[in-house]
Amino acid sequence: MQIIYEDDDVFAAVKPAGVVMHADSHHPKGSFLEMVCTLRPTAQLLHRLDKDTSGVALFAKTDAAASYYKKLFKDTLIQKTYLALVVGTFTKKKGIIALPIGRSSSDPRKRSVGGKKGKLREARTDYSVLERFGDSFTLLEVFPKTGRTHQVRSHLASIGHPVACDALYGGKKYACPQGLKRQFLHAFGLSFTSRKGIRVKVEADLPEDLRYTLKELKKK
């Protein structure tokens, strides 16, 4: 386990792709929280990342810290940054997706824009273009302002640019760079104010598989 930030209240670890954040009925063993707790038994999970998303995961060390940081997440006072390779190209450098998300009526695994099952929740995702790879793929810096389940994936798919290799949300526009075995979505950074009033910024470098994918795309 790689810890990239730590103070008296919290620590940030790098979650690898292919590991669920916490145990559930489908994955009773081998969660990232379980791995973390073998070294830090009192660790409390503060937020979630999808199984195939890598990147920064924040954990509280005490109940008081957990209460403070969970409220920050709930009040959207923790700034989140993702790196996403998406299908297609963008004409604009920046954009905002402000569309409500709900459970999909056709697939219980999915969240969809305007989903009709259950309650619709407001959601906003900002993005900016970092690099274009012809007409095939675009690398984005993504800033989810709310924290809905699958928000980044469903929002990007809703505007016709699903995350590369995302089998669940890709639909008819599914595309995957050769050799990549999972969706290209990485939780790159978190920025927040600690309980002591200190501004903290934590970042996790792209893992090897995603760096290799970008390297190969640049060659083309």
As annotated, the active-site residues are: 50
Alpha-carbon distance of 179 to 105, in angstroms, equals 33
**Can you spell out the DSSP letters for 75-132?**
TT-SEEEEEEEEES--SSSEEEEE--EEE-SS-TT-EEET--EEEEE--EEEEEEEEE
Amino acid at 105: S
**Can you spell out the DSSP letters for 185-196?**
EEEEEEEEE-TT
State the SS3 of 25-83: CCCCCCCHHHHHHHHCCCCEECCCCCCCCEEEEEEECCHHHHHHHHHHHHCCCCEEEEE
**Can you spell out the DSSP letters for 142-179?**
EEESS--TTHHHHHHHHTT-PBTT-TTT-GGG----TT
